[in-house]
Structure 1
Amino acid sequence: MKTLEEVKSQLQAGQFEFTRHAFKRAVERNISEAEIREASTKIEVIEDYPDDKYSPSCLLLGFTLANRALHLQVSRIESDNVKIITLYEPDSMQWMDYRRRKP
């Protein structure tokens, strides 16, 4: 299983691929590949899903240079590229400090 440092390094290098769902969401939400690379510089795991349906994954939080918060759910399977499962800008009505889900 990939470590956070491996995921971070691959995201920063642009070594990532989108699931069909994630690509659709990136287009709908106007999230660029450059923003993904920017957000990955200080990325942190906010939720871990070791028993996820298809593969172990985690939810990451990072900020772009323009301070746009992004959540990226990524697979932690060993591979040449990080697979982005979904991505979005977290809603402040649903998240506290973008890190914890509101009750």
Structure 2
Amino acid sequence: MIDINNLRAYYEQERVIITVHAQERLRQRGIKAKDVRNCVMTGEIIEQYPDDFPFPSCLIFGQAVNGKILHVVASDEGSGSRIITAYFPDKEKFEDDLKTRRERTK
């Protein structure tokens, strides 16, 4: 399981990479790198993805610098982290707390 404190330490040690995919998504969604950092530094892990390849990852619930709720998906690679994507959660996919996924309807 990923520990949020490890991800925060990676930021403090400047061992976080934002993937090209994530950079493009951030640009499209109007999210800045400082928003992602703020989310990781002040947020909490709400989902763990231990079987992600090539490294385990997690979903972090936190806030952008302006206080807007933000989700960040990040990996823990043992000596650093990679930001996979970030987005403002959609109330159609998450409950009102923006932490709990809604049940998918078939």
User: CA, structure 1 residues 12+69, in 2 after alignment: closer, same or farther (shift >3 Å)?
Assistant: farther
Q: Where do 5+ consecutive residues of structure 2 fail to align?
A: none
> Residue type matched to 1:91 in 2?
D
Q: Tell me the residue number matched to 1:27.
A: 27
CA distance in 1, matches of 2:22, 2:41: 20
Q: Tell me the residue number matched to 1:57.
A: 57
> Residue type matched to 1:73 in 2?
V
User: CA, structure 1 residues 98+82, in 2 after alignment: closer, same or farther (shift >3 Å)?
Assistant: same
Superposed CA deviations along residues 39-85 of structure 1, whole A, max 9, x for unmatched, are 22321111101111321111111112422111111111112x42001
Q: Calculate the TM-score normalised by the size of structure 1.
A: 0.85
Report the count of equivalent residues: 102
Shift of 1:16: 2.0
User: CA, structure 1 residues 41+75, in 2 after alignment: closer, same or farther (shift >3 Å)?
Assistant: closer
8 Å Cα contact 2:22/2:83 also seen in 1: yes
Q: Tell me the residue number matched to 2:81.
A: 82
> Residue type matched to 1:95 in 2?
F
Q: Tell me the residue number matched to 1:11.
A: 11
Name the larger-Rg structure.
2
Q: Calculate the TM-score normalised by the size of structure 2.
A: 0.82
Q: Tell me the residue number matched to 1:72.
A: 72
Shift of 1:18: 1.3
**2:94 matched to 1:100?**
no
Q: Where do 5+ consecutive residues of structure 1 fail to align?
A: none
Q: What is the aligned-residue RMSD (CA, Å)?
A: 1.9
Where in structure 1 do 4 or more consecutive aligned residues deviate above 6 Å? none
